[in-house]
Amino acid sequence: MNTKVILGGVAVLAVIGVGAVFLGRSSQPTSQPTQSESSTPAVVLTASGFAPQSVTVAVGTKVTWTNNSGATATVNSVNHPTHLAYSPLNLGSFGGGETLSLVFDRPGTYKYHNHLNASQTGVVVVDQ
C-alpha cells in the first residue's frame, strides 16, 4: 500500500515537472527574425551624396534611404532624367529627416540617383 502512494506521488511530481518545463518554454520566442528583419540596410543621403554608395543584399531585403542632406531630394532609377531602368526604384522625393524604403524582390544590379542633384548616385546589388 505504501508503494502505491509513493509511486502515485512520484507520478504527480513528474507531471508537474514536465508541465513546468513546457510552460517555461512558451514564454520564449518561437522563431528568430530573418536577416532582412534584423538588419535592414540603411543608406543615408548627406550634402555630399549617398553613403554607402553601394549596398549588397539578398532577394527580399528592404533597403531604407534617409535624407540628412538638409534639402529635398529624390531616389530615382537611372538613367537621368528618364528613370526607366527599374521603375520600382522611382521612389520620389523626400524631405530632411524623412525616409523611403523598397523591398528588392529579384536579383540584379540597380543603379539610382538623386534627380535633383544627378551627381549623387548609388547602387543596390541584389544576390539570390
With the C-alpha atoms ordered 21, 27, 28, 30, is the resulting torsion angle positive or negative?
Answer: positive
CATH class of the 38-127 domain in this structure = mainly beta
Average pLDDT, whole number, for the chain?
A: 80
**Contact 55/41 with Cβ under 8 angstroms?**
yes
3-state secondary structure of 125: strand
In 12-49, which positions are buried (b, 16+ CB within 10 angstroms) versus exposed (e)? eeeeeeeeeeeeeeeeeeeeeeeebeeeebebebeeeb
With the C-alpha atoms ordered 106, 79, 94, 123, is the resulting torsion angle positive or negative?
Answer: positive
pLDDT tens figures, 103-117: 999 999 999 999 999
- State the pLDDT at residue 91: 97
- State the pLDDT at residue 40: 84
Where exactly are the structural domains of the chain?
1-28, 38-127
**Hey, what amino acid is at 51?**
A
pLDDT tens figures, 62-87: 999 999 999 999 999 999 999 999 99
Question: What is the mean pLDDT of the segment spanning 1-8?
Answer: 52
pLDDT tens figures, 54-65: 999 999 999 999
**Contact 76/115 with Cβ under 8 angstroms?**
yes
Q: Is the pTM of this model over 0.85?
A: no
